[in-house]
Amino acid sequence: MFDNLTNKFDDVFKKIRGEARLTEENIREAMREVRIALLDADVNFKVVKDFTKTVTEKAVGTETLRAVRPAQHIVKIVSDELTEMMGGQAAEFTLEKGQLQVVMLLGLQGSGKTTFAGKLARYARENGHKPMLVACDVYRPAAVKQLQVVGSGVGVPVFQMGTDEPVVNIATQGIEAARKEGCDLVIVDTAGRLHIDEVRMDEIQGLKAACKPKFTFLVADAMTGQDAVNSATAFNEAVGIDGVCLTKIDGDARGGAALSVRAVTGRPIYFVGTGEKAEDLEPFYPDRMASRILGMGDIVTLVEKAQGTIDEAEALDLQRKMKREEFSLQDFMDQMQRVKKMGSMKSIMKMIPGLGSAMGDMEIDDDAFKPMEAMISSMTPYERDHVDSLDGSRRKRIATGSGTTPADVNRLVDEFKKTRKLMSQMMRMGPKQAMAAARGMGGTSGGGGGGGGLAVKEKPKHRRKKKTKKNKRRSR
């Protein structure tokens, strides 16, 4: 969502890098471009005006250290102000265990509220709670059925009474049913409306009074830009909301809602939906989002995602296998499956500092790994654990079973062996040697990938020989 904004910020910072020092003139010129970039991203005009004014005042009014370059100084100020614009500190979604609490979801039709309800239920369950979904959308056709399907998909019970009962009755009886089932969280999915002017606020106010929710969230579609901010303002003024949850933040839109909603409504963003899967839900951290927008990655979120998919005992076992060169194709496929659970390859790479801005608009096809998975899946368990057993006839059978060619299987096996050997070598090295070998894995423009790291020690020797011969010819 923020790719265009990230690229424009990067262009601004590149121009500043060319300056020997910061002056009022080049700062104001940079802020003019930042203002255009933010407005183009559909950020609220007043928010943009206040943001650029604050950044200009801080940049002009402070002396930079000699060790800090002008561009670094500006990036630091912009990062701090972006973080502050989005709320500064993360809003904590804290629930008491063993005590029944209610979360009420509001929103317009099409905002992804029902899908978000399922994601939130899964998130709560993963964090040790026992949730129940309550279907209070009695107006939209098949809304109750949709919630049941969503609930079934995440393994959470759904309470419903059809579409004929008043929503207050459904909610109160749903809360009572949750209490009897021993649940400690009720998520109430309310009816969305076509437009903010059509929202019957009296019904929502009555439902809120009956439920007494600990959290009242507005679920808004991030792709609608300032319309999402306007609906948050209207709901907050009429009903009162505790925060906003943005869906579809992975979409191809300008992202102004994420940057404007806190400054305009005074209410924080609690969660963002980052994809279509049930696990694609993240707590919103203003500092991490600012880092992503500026192309500096988000290594903290990446580590948290990895911790959620990799067991510590398995990681230690994997480390032992790598060191002894016992890492198998089955282990390799297991790790690929875990990485896929963390999100798309592009979203993961964008969290790595330096890679986000370097990737630009480059697309990474996650389906590119499917032939590799097909080949490994066509092997027997013994073959996956004993890659050296793959002779010509076995490789031909694997190619036929996976819809690939023997050359593809040969390439997979050869690259896997090289990688396994390199990993074993790196596990025995010290930290500095391992870093040097990791850099060598990328190779050079003429180098190639898999075996680049193995040739690190040989290349300098080879270059010296060629240079010596060249010098002899010149001396003659």
Percent residues over pLDDT 90 in the chain: 15
Could you give the percent of the chain with pLDDT greater than 70? 71
> Residue 91: pLDDT above 80?
yes
pLDDT of 177 over the 70 cut: yes
Amino acid 55: pLDDT: 85
The mean per-residue pLDDT over the stretch 312-316 comes to 66
Given the structure tokens 């989002």, which residue do they identify? Answer: 289
Residue 57, C-beta contacts closer than 8 angstroms, at least 6 positions apart: none
Q: What is the pLDDT of residue 253?
A: 58
The length of the chain is 476
Residues 6+ apart with CB under 8 A from 457: none
User: 121-125, 219-223, 249-253: lowest mean pLDDT where?
Assistant: 249-253
Given pLDDT bands bounded at 50, 70 and 90, which one contains residue 102?
very high
- Burial class (CB within 10 angstroms; exposed 0-12, middle 13-18, buried 19+) of 434: middle
| pLDDT in the model for residue 187 | 93
Question: Which one, of 70, 47, 61, 449, lies nearest residue 265 by Cα?
Answer: 47
- Under 8 Å between Cβ of 138 and 190: no
User: Is the pTM higher than 0.85?
Assistant: no
Q: Which of 117-121, 250-254, 382-386, 418-422 has the lowest mean pLDDT?
A: 250-254
Residue 144, exposed/middle/buried by CB under 10 A (0-12, 13-18, 19+)? buried
Average pLDDT of the residues of the chain:
76
What does the DSSP assignment read for 74-140?
HHHHHHHHHHHHTTSSPPP----TTS-EEEEEE--TTS-HHHHHHHHHHHHHHTT--EEEEEE--SS
pLDDT, greater one: 154 or 436: 154
Name all domains of the chain by residue range, CATH numbers in brackets. Answer: 3-85 (1.20.120.140), 101-294 (3.40.50.300), 305-428 (1.10.260.30)
Confidence class of residue 455 from pLDDT cuts 50, 70 and 90?
A: very low
Confidence at 61, pLDDT banded by 50, 70, 90: low
- Asked whether residue 301 carries a pLDDT value surpassing 70, the answer given is no
Highest mean pLDDT range out of 85-99, 132-146, 445-459?
A: 132-146
* Residue of 446, 447, 445, 451 whose CA lies nearest to 437: 451
Closest CA to 9 of 88, 81, 78, 72: 78
Q: Is the pLDDT of residue 352 over 80?
A: no
Q: Summarize the confidence of residues 54-79 as an average pLDDT.
A: 69
Mean of pLDDT values over 73-78: 79
Output 419 or 174, whichever has higher pLDDT: 174
Q: What is the pLDDT of residues 7-47, one digit of tens each?
A: 777 777 777 776 666 777 878 888 888 888 888 877 888 88
User: Which of 113, 175, 124, 194 lies closest to 150, judged by CA?
Assistant: 113
| Nearest Cα to Cα of residue 150 among 133, 136, 165, 125 | 133
What is the pLDDT at residue 344? Answer: 62
pLDDT score of 2 more than 70: no
The answer on pLDDT for 321 being more than 90 is: no
Instruction: Of 83-97, 218-232, 238-252, 422-436, give the lowest mean pLDDT range.
Output: 422-436
Please tell me what DSSP assigns to residue 369.
G
User: What average pLDDT does range 199-206 have in this prediction?
Assistant: 76
What is the predicted pLDDT for the residue at 444?
A: 34
Q: Residue 64: pLDDT above 60? A: no
Q: Which residues pair with 158 in a beta bridge?
A: 133
